[in-house]
Structure 1
Amino acid sequence: MPDFFVSICIPTCNRPRLLEAALLSCFSQPLLPAEILIGDDSQDRKSAAIVNRFSRKTDVDIKYWKHSGRIGQAANLNWLIDNANSQYLIFLHDDDRLCAGAIKILYEAWLKYPGAQCFYGKQYLTDCIGNILLDRTEGWNHRYFRTHEFSGRQRSNLSAALTQQIPNNGFLIENELARKTRYRSETEIGHAVDADFGIRIALAAGPHSFVYVDRFVSEYRLNPDSISQSTTLNRREDVLYEYIEQLKIPAGDEQARMGFLERIAVAAALDAARAGRRRSAIRIIFSPYYKEALLSRWTLYRLLCIVSPAIGERVKRLLTQINPDLGGDGERQWRHFGNGQMKK
């Protein structure tokens, strides 16, 4: 077997039990990683105790750092990249899991496609306690072009990243490429650091370096306290929107760029309004990428937020009290499904 060494990088913060499940998925692999690196932003030592327990039961090298203060997801990931020794890396969120055989699946793709630099597969969606949501899983992977007809080397790295075919974690990447690219801070790009990283590794990688494997590799947990599921945190997707909007790309990737902007325009408009960037919010709402009806209650809510976020939130609460169905997961649906439609 050719030399194949992989480091799994796990940033964690105040989720000891979910971290334990993530680690169990790593140690259940038929092909084990060379090392597991954990950067801990937690306020207590509960995660450290779990890591110590695993360390006593395995021959896999576990490297653990307890940061003295919370350094944030991007800085935590960069810390792990800088300290990883393997040729390849797999990033794993502390509330997600690798599927059984994930490393072996990615290894076999590495053998089949020499010279490629990034490998990834399908994701299961799970609820907060880890139950797989089969109906949402199918739509999720179809939405992000993770279906059989796209198997193998991708025509364009950038189109694969802009369509978000590359998932937010659970992918295999060349260490050198990750170190050259690095994650940008939340101050620079907002909280969508995973999507930004995928796009920038696509720009930095060699031609046809992205490989999609039509098999399940990871589980993505819809965790209520995660950044992606929050309806109150300002993720500043307006910053990411403007970066993609201004990016100089080949004509062949333009359709993928348009699709990306359409997926995040609604959330970006609200984030700009909440950040006090009124002109930016108005420009996004009246752009061709904003697909919510201009006369809808949700657009009215965002327009009110441009005038005053506090007034907008009060009107939203009032409408929700009158008719609870008006509250729901409006923002979350847009962030994850793009068109406001989600099966109940």
Structure 2
Amino acid sequence: MFTLSTPSHPSPKVSICLPTCNRPELLVACIDSCLAQSYGNLEIVIGDDSKDKRTQQLIAQRYANEPRIRYAKNQPSLGQARNVASLFERARGDKILLIHDDDLLTTDGVEKLVSLWARHPQLEVAFADQYEADHSGTVDFDASARLNTAFHRTKDAEGLQALPGRCGLIQMFPNNGWMANANLVRRIGYKDQYGMCCDFTFGTELCLAAREVFYLHDYVSVYRKTATSISHSTRGTTVAATVSAYAFVKALKLPPQLEPSRKLALRRLAPIVVSVHAKNRQAVLGSKIALTHLFAYNYGFSMRLYYHLLMLSRAAVSPVSGHTSPRF
């Protein structure tokens, strides 16, 4: 566990970028967690992509006298990626932190992250652990431990990362609750051509571009599991985040030292993509991916391969009738 230190130079300003869309009932808790930060030099930049005026009215009524909040209503709506990109451009801070409207920050989350720059002046990106919570924000501590372990966030991994780009490729880097130098964030930007996996592609490109990335084995944010997320609504379809992430990882030009990280990423992504193609009756494409990524199925010593091949064969002979739901 790291102790927080007070830098001798003026504390950097942190811009908390908060995209929101049609979820005012979740947004309030998120904003309040940002306002409750133990770190003082910050602003909360909100981009509202909502179709109605509920969020706009809520901000006006509840936070009219809060100078740290800078709110903008997007007219017309920008979409997920362009909304986040616009927040990055509007940010005035030295550091940028992203938090989504259905998630939360721990009270000392910003302070824990920003303090890392005092010990590592060349640092460009920092991230830490996430709690997992239900819709109401109640934390499940066992699930939180499993979540971070699944994404390679463990005690033995703490510190400056020897291969910064690896963090993004293997999804060690979280989708929010991270902090980075504002100039680097704006240089990378959120790109809308990647669809639902813009979080993943941004994190990967950010880590690939950074000179130094630090992982802190401590909790700074809360991931709330909600049924209204965009990724949840598109899961199992051909526009699912996993399908786009697979194509992105396959196409990346990487130095030789990061090829094992690419393989690790594809080991996770390829079977899910095969399952998606089987569900959507794309038997030829699904079979090709399965057979060219046998390492993802332990080279045939995995029952998952034969289950997916069975799904694909059913899709091939029954292109119109019912289909089997994928088992990820």
- Judged with a 3 Å threshold, the aligned counterparts in structure 2 of structure 1 residues 11 and 55 are, in CA distance, closer, same or farther, namely same
Contact 1:181 1:201 in 2 (8 A): yes
Contact 2:279 2:323 in 1 (8 A): no
Deviation at 1:239, TM superposition (A): 3.1
Local SS of the residue matching 1:217: strand
Give the alignment's TM-score, normalised by structure 1.
Answer: 0.83
Task: Give the equivalent residue in structure 2 for 1:213.
Answer: 216
Deviation at 1:236, TM superposition (A): 5.0
Deviation at 1:256, TM superposition (A): 1.7
Task: Give the RMSD, CA atoms, in angstroms.
Answer: 2.3
Local SS of the residue matching 1:295: helix
- Judged with a 3 Å threshold, the aligned counterparts in structure 2 of structure 1 residues 249 and 126 are, in CA distance, closer, same or farther, namely same
Task: Give the equivalent residue in structure 1 for 2:294.
Answer: 288
Select 1:11's aligned residue among 16, 19, 29.
19
Amino acid across the alignment from 2:98:
F
Task: Give the equivalent residue in structure 2 for 1:24.
Answer: 32
The 5-angstrom pairing of residues 29-178 of structure 1 reads 29-60=37-68, 62-178=69-185
- Judged with a 3 Å threshold, the aligned counterparts in structure 2 of structure 1 residues 50 and 163 are, in CA distance, closer, same or farther, namely same
Deviation at 1:246, TM superposition (A): 3.0
Structure 2 gap segments, 5+ residues each: 1-8, 298-302
Structure 1 gap segments, 5+ residues each: 317-326, 335-344
Contact 1:22 1:96 in 2 (8 A): yes
| Separation in 2, partners of 1:34, 1:13 | 23
| Separation in 1, partners of 2:72, 2:82 | 13
Local SS of the residue matching 1:136: helix
Contact 1:222 1:229 in 2 (8 A): no
Deviation at 1:166, TM superposition (A): 1.2
* Deviations 1:188-226 (CA, angstroms, capped at 9, x unpaired): 2231111100111122222xx110111101111111121
Contact 1:90 1:169 in 2 (8 A): yes
Give the alignment's TM-score, normalised by structure 2.
Answer: 0.87
- Judged with a 3 Å threshold, the aligned counterparts in structure 2 of structure 1 residues 269 and 108 are, in CA distance, closer, same or farther, namely same
Contact 1:281 1:306 in 2 (8 A): no
| Separation in 1, partners of 2:309, 2:25 | 39
For these two proteins, the number of residue pairs brought into alignment is 312
Contact 1:265 1:289 in 2 (8 A): no
- Judged with a 3 Å threshold, the aligned counterparts in structure 2 of structure 1 residues 71 and 308 are, in CA distance, closer, same or farther, namely farther
| Separation in 2, partners of 1:181, 1:308 | 44
Select 1:189's aligned residue among 168, 191, 194.
194
Contact 1:123 1:219 in 2 (8 A): yes
- Judged with a 3 Å threshold, the aligned counterparts in structure 2 of structure 1 residues 6 and 263 are, in CA distance, closer, same or farther, namely same
| Separation in 2, partners of 1:308, 1:237 | 25
| Separation in 2, partners of 1:26, 1:33 | 12
Contact 1:32 1:103 in 2 (8 A): no
Deviation at 1:289, TM superposition (A): 4.7
